[in-house]
Amino acid sequence: MLGAATNVATCELFDISPLSLRLEFRKTMHEKSPPRAILITGPTASGKSALALRVAERLGGVLVNADSMQVYRDLRVLTARPTEEDERRVPHLLFGHIDGAENYSVGRWLKDFGATLDALDRPAILTGGTGMYFKATLQGLSDIPSVPDDVRAAVRARAEGKTPQELHAELREVDPETASRLRNTDPQRILRALEIYEATGATLASFQGSRAAPLLDAAHTPAFFLAPERPALFARIDTRFDRMIETGALNEVRALAARRLDPALPVMRAHGVPHLLAYLDGRLSFEEAIARGKADTRHYAKRQFTFARHQLPTFEWLAGENAERELFARLETAT
C-alpha cells in the first residue's frame, strides 16, 4: 500500500524475488484465460496489497478494495490506502469513494462490488483485510431490511452519551441472541442491531437465517490468505504505524476531529483514530497514543487470523518464504 517501498518490504517479509516470479509467470498467463476474480486477503500489514498490485499488473486486471476503512476518503494515510503512484500502475476501484460522515455497511459494499464486477471486462483482483466482505462475496449475505434514515437518527440520538456497555445491555433486553455474539466494546454493530429492532420490531438474529446468492462461486474462485510469521508481522505493524505518523496521519485525524462527526461512525473507530483523538484532546500523551494505536492494530491482526480460520474455509493459506511463489503457481494451474 506504500508504493515501491512497500513492494520491497513485502518481498523481504516473504524472502522472495518479484522479478524471478514474474519471469516464470509471464508465459503461462499469456497462454491461459484468467479467472473472473482473484481474492487476496490476510492480516493488516501482511503485504497483500503489494502482492495484489503485481497480480493485477500481470493479468491486466484491476484492483478492487475489500477493506472497510479504505473506502473512506478522509484517512488515506492512516488506513494505508494505495498511493497515487500505485493507482497509476493499474486501475483502483472502491477506494476512498465514501465520505467519513456515512455509515458504509457490508451490504452497501456488496452491492457496489456486484455492480463493479458486472461492469468489468478484465479480472478483478479483490484485496483488503475485511473478512466479512470476502465471506459475503463467496457465501452470500443475510437478507436484512434497510433502516430508514429517520429511525437510524432517532436510535443514535438516544444512544448519544451512553457507553457501549450500556447499549449492549439494552440490546440484550430485546435481542439476547445477537447480544451474545457481539462484544460489548463494539458500538457500531450494537447500534446496527438496535436500529433493525427499532425499524422492524424483529431481531437481527431472526433475519440472519436466509442468505442471498453469493456473487462468486467459491469452487471456481482462487482465494488466498497471506499468513506471515507473527513476530515479523507485528514488527512490520509497528514500523508502519510510525511511518504513518511521520507522513501525515495526525493531520488527518486533526481534520477529522474538526468535523465533529458521530463517534460511533466507522471512520471514527479506524485503528489509531480514537487514541490520536485522545492525544489531541489532551487525554493521552503522544507516546501513549502511538503505543495504544500499535497495540490495537496488532490485536486486530490476531482477530483477522481467527476469522479467516473459521469463516473463510476455501481460502488457501500461504506462509513462509515461498508464499508468493506458491500463489503464482496456484494461479497458473487455476487459469
Pairwise CA distance, residues 141 & 212, whole Å: 6
Residue 187: Cβ-neighbour burial (10 angstroms; 0-12, 13-18, 19+):
buried
Number of domains in the chain: 2
**Pairing, β 124-127 against β 316-318:** unpaired
Contact 257, 94 (CB under 8 A): no
Contact 125, 216 (CB under 8 A): no
Same structural domain, 75 and 129 = yes
Whole-number pLDDT of residue 335: 58
Same structural domain, 325 and 218 = yes
Q: 207, 235, 250: which is the final residue of a domain? A: 207
Q: What is the pLDDT of residues 14-57, one digit of tens each?
A: 443 444 444 444 444 545 677 899 999 999 999 999 999 999 99
Sequence-distant (6+) residues with CB within 8 A of 246 are none
Same structural domain, 11 and 132 = yes
Could you tell me the three cell numbers for 53? 498490485
Sequence-distant (6+) residues with CB within 8 A of 24 are 328
Task: Give backbone dihedrals phi and psi of 37, rounded to 5 degrees, phi first.
Answer: -150, 150
Mean pLDDT estimate for the chain: 89
**Pairing, β 316-318 against β 92-93:** unpaired
Pairwise CA distance, residues 202 & 147, whole Å: 12
Rg from Cα positions in the chain: 20
- How many helices (DSSP H) and strands (DSSP E) are in the chain? 16, 6
Containing structural domain, residue 159: 149-207
Q: What is the pLDDT of residues 114-132, one digit of tens each?
A: 999 999 999 999 999 999 9
Instruction: Give the residue carrying C-alpha cell 491461459.
Output: 32
Confidence of residue 152 (pLDDT cuts 50, 70, 90): confident
Which of 15-19, 72-76, 301-305 has the least mean pLDDT? Answer: 15-19
Same structural domain, 247 and 226 = yes
Q: 207, 228, 253: which is the final residue of a domain? A: 207
Pairwise CA distance, residues 313 & 226, whole Å: 14
Same structural domain, 132 and 226 = yes
Q: 161, 178, 207: which is the final residue of a domain? A: 207
Pairwise CA distance, residues 131 & 43, whole Å: 10
Could you tell me the three cell numbers for 69? 476503512
Same structural domain, 161 and 248 = no
CATH code of the domain containing 167 = 1.10.20.140
**Is the backbone of residue 179 left (phi > 0), alpha (psi -120 to 50) or beta?**
alpha
Same structural domain, 119 and 219 = yes
Same structural domain, 72 and 163 = no
Same structural domain, 127 and 22 = yes
Whole-number pLDDT of residue 311: 96
Same structural domain, 305 and 270 = yes
Q: What is the pTM of this model?
A: 0.79
Whole-number pLDDT of residue 15: 40
Same structural domain, 99 and 239 = yes
Map residue 234 onto helix, strand or coil: helix
Same structural domain, 235 and 174 = no
